[in-house]
Amino acid sequence: MASHVPPIRQHSPHLPFGDHQTAPLYGRDILSVKQFNRGDLEYIFGVAHEMSEMVRRVGTFDLLKGKILANLFYEPSTRTSASFTAAMERLGGSVIPINEVRYSSVSKGESLPDTVRTLEAYADVIVLRHPEVGSAALAAQYASKPIINAGDGVGEHPTQALLDLFTVLEEMKRLDGLTVTMLGDLKFGRTVHSLSRLLTLFNVKLNYVAPPSQRMPEEIVAEIAATGVPQKETPHLEEVLAETDVLYVTRIQKERFANPDDYDAIKGAYVITPETMKQAKEEMIVMHPLPRVGEIAIEVDTDPRAAYFRQVEYGLYVRMALLAMVLGKA
């Protein structure tokens, strides 16, 4: 179900790029999905699609030559950190990687505002992951350069939600009229918090499948209910699997539990297997923000409906688009 990419149009609405300092995202922080409307998403996804064509055609290009990205990660990351690095380098820019903050001045007690104000002296944009909710917004208060939220504790992960939505669009060819089922750790899962909010811009139905202790937070359910989007909660995947167009699987996050016994009690509560997939539609996709720790059996990887590794690639193009846009090149 991987999408077919048409050849580059001679007169692209997004490429070739120039300076677009009047564009909506130029110089802006990306802190929450709440800042976007449908028009914003259409433009972001249009740029992302052009980025995918350029990568497949020429690999790298010098759109952001001379620009510097600071990757500031207070929590472990593989995909988000690597994809922002790859995105910047694909665009011809450079990266200051700070992925082990214990080796930086943070270990000496330096505050987040001081760290951010220091890094912006060297960089044009800062990507921040931090364990505290609201940390990206705090950083943005002190920074004069754009801050991109790469995850603030159990709060939000807006660029993940954007790449998730782009994945759905590329794979399913539409965003309206879909039933999206979110499975696993919905309490601590910042990816599902952001994605559910973003999906309220479209005509969708949302299903939440989780152990009772890991249900979607009440405030998010109430927030989405106010938009009129239908929601259903159940601990049983079999109740909603047959109607599901997009199954979004998340891991139970061991690092979020204060008591290891609480984690042990629910780990492995849901495992997607080839038998599970027999009950699903022929035209649907399975997504996962990764890493997985057993909630999707490896045998499912060969199912054409398994989109989670294609999802990783789509993330590169979305982050390339975002970097170009906040730096005034798209």
Q: Is the model's pLDDT at 160 over the cut of 70? A: yes
pLDDT at res. 22 = 77
Of 192 and 258, the structure prediction assigns the larger pLDDT to: 192
Concatenating the DSSP letter of every residue in 105-167 gives: GGGGT--HHHHHHHHTTT-SEEEEEESSTTHHHHHHHH-SS-EEEEEETTS--HHHHHHHHHH
What is the second-level CATH architecture of the domain 158-312?
3-Layer(aba) Sandwich (3.40)
Report whether 116 contacts 139 (CB < 8 A): yes
pLDDT at res. 293 = 87
pLDDT at res. 262 = 67
pLDDT at res. 3 = 47
With tokens 């204060």, the residue in question is 258
Mean predicted confidence (pLDDT) in 122-144 = 95
Measure the CA–CA gap between 318 and 25, rounded to whole angstroms.
14
Mean predicted confidence (pLDDT) in 156-178 = 96
Q: Is the model's pLDDT at 59 over the cut of 70? A: yes
The mean predicted confidence, pLDDT, of the chain is 89
Q: Which of 24-38, 56-70, 101-115 has the lowest mean pLDDT?
A: 101-115
Phi, psi (deg, nearest 5) at residue 85: -65, -50
Report whether 128 contacts 149 (CB < 8 A): yes
Per DSSP, the three-state class of 242 is helix
Of 11 and 229, the structure prediction assigns the larger pLDDT to: 229
Strands 231-234 and 204-209: parallel
pTM greater than 0.85 (yes/no): yes
Q: Is the model's pLDDT at 254 over the cut of 80? A: no
Q: Is the model's pLDDT at 2 over the cut of 80? A: no
CA 48 from centroid of its chain's CA atoms: 14
Residues 114-152: b if buried by 16+ CB within 10 A, e if exposed: ebbeebbeebbbbbbbbeeeebbbbbbeebebbbbbbbb
- pLDDT tens track for 305-328: 999 999 999 999 999 999 999 999
Measure the CA–CA gap between 161 and 146, rounded to whole angstroms.
19
- pLDDT tens track for 5-17: 444 444 455 554 5
Q: Is the model's pLDDT at 301 over the cut of 80? A: yes
Q: Is the model's pLDDT at 220 over the cut of 90? A: yes
Q: Which CATH superfamily is domain 33-156+315-326 in?
A: Aspartate/ornithine carbamoyltransferase (3.40.50.1370)
- pLDDT tens track for 93-104: 999 999 866 545
Q: Which helix (H) or strand (E) holds 248?
A: strand 246-249
Report whether 187 contacts 217 (CB < 8 A): yes
Q: Which of 20-29, 141-150, 202-211, 268-277 has the lowest mean pLDDT?
A: 20-29
Looking at the chain, the domain(s) classified CATH 3.40.50.1370 span: 33-156+315-326, 158-312
pLDDT at res. 10 = 45
Phi and psi based region of residue 318 (left: phi greater than 0; alpha: psi -120 to 50; beta: remaining): alpha
Q: Is the model's pLDDT at 212 over the cut of 60? A: yes
